[in-house]
Amino acid sequence: MILYIVKRLVLSVPLLVGIATATFFVLHLAPGDPMDMYLEPRFQREMDPEVIEAIRTRFGLDEPIPVRYGKWIRNLATGDLGTSFRYRRPVADLMWERVPYTLQLTVLALLFDALFGISLGILAAVKQYTKLDKVVTLGSLVVYSVPGFWLALMLVLVFSVELGWFPTSQTRSLDYELLSFWGQVADRLWHLVLPVFVLSVASAAGTARYMRNKLLDVLSEEYVLAARARGLRERVVILKHALRNALIPIITIYGMALPFLLGGAVLIENVFAWPGMGTLAVEAVRGRDYPVILATTMLSAVLVVVGNLMADITYAAVDPRVSYEGKVKA
């Protein structure tokens, strides 16, 4: 097992180098110059060319692209992500500040997603063809189809603007520093309600549909029939015999949710002015902040690779039919 993990990790190194190279060159092939964001072109024309050259040298923009690539890769290998053009601070520091905010949203969203998605899915499957099942299947399809960021806007409109129950945006109130410890905790939670709800509701709908289908697949298997024939109670049949097998593909999905943890809330963060990784990435793209764009892309690529590995490992761990070589035994 450990050998398998090590082998997969070693194999993913060339993959990540490939991704890094592709990202770097695509980014530098793009038209436009980061200098234009730093200084408007009309000012650049009036300025002393030497000053502009000096700025270029400082940001390393004066060197030919292959040299920049070599430097960037070398720094990346030692864990140095470079300095942001826009904030003029190390990219790693910037990301380190933003990550906790995104994690608050996404971890909570995943928890609610699993809790409600799986239980609704089970309920719908057990009560197949009843009204409840129809409401869950159709309702989840509708919810799943509504764009999350629009739902967020509408919820803000109703619950924040009209009713004033929740804040419209930000992570904390203006008087946050004046509150007691528990007041601060409550304030944070109060700001989390809407974004977490929006994030979890759509993915819970997807999970419910998936869970329902998987459980129905399993319920038509012969061993379920056998369990029923032995006179086991329906509750035991479903929870002990069927559910365990139906959960296997669901667990795999959560293994692959790793990249979602950091990159899944781009639009929602934008609606709620939430200072997370998503907002950082969008700002970087808008402002041609190349080091930040490269760093966020690399981070998410690493997460995808590790997430896939985790999914495979959990799959092998929960399903004894799967061996670590990835082949299904007969």
The residues of the shown chain that bind other proteins, judged by CB under 8 A, are 15-16, 18-19, 22-23, 26-27, 30-32, 138, 141-142, 144-147, 149-150, 153-154, 156-157, 161, 259, 263, 266-267, 270-271, 281-282, 285-286, 288, 293, 296-297, 300-301, 303-305, 308
Judged by beta carbon, residue 135 or residue 186, the one nearer other proteins is 135
In sequence order, what are the residues at sequence separation of 6 or more whose Cβ sits closer than 8 angstroms to the Cβ of residue 98? 275, 276, 277, 279, 280
Judged by beta carbon, residue 147 or residue 183, the one nearer other proteins is 147
Q: Outline where 49-88 has alpha helix (H).
A: 49-59, 65-77
Structural tokens at position 228 = 């029923």
Shortest Cβ 239–other proteins spacing (Å): 26
Judged by beta carbon, residue 171 or residue 296, the one nearer other proteins is 296
Shortest Cβ 297–other proteins spacing (Å): 6
In sequence order, what are the residues at sequence separation of 6 or more whose Cβ sits closer than 8 angstroms to the Cβ of residue 317? none
Shortest Cβ 254–other proteins spacing (Å): 16
CA-based torsion, 199, 200, 201, 206: positive or negative: positive
Q: How many CB atoms lie within 10 A of CB 35?
A: 17
Shortest Cβ 22–other proteins spacing (Å): 7
Shortest Cβ 235–other proteins spacing (Å): 28
Judged by beta carbon, residue 156 or residue 227, the one nearer other proteins is 156
Judged by beta carbon, residue 2 or residue 142, the one nearer other proteins is 142
Measured CA to CA, the distance from residue 105 to residue 198 in angstroms comes to 10
Residue 49 exposed, middle or buried by CB count within 10 Å (0-12, 13-18, 19+): exposed
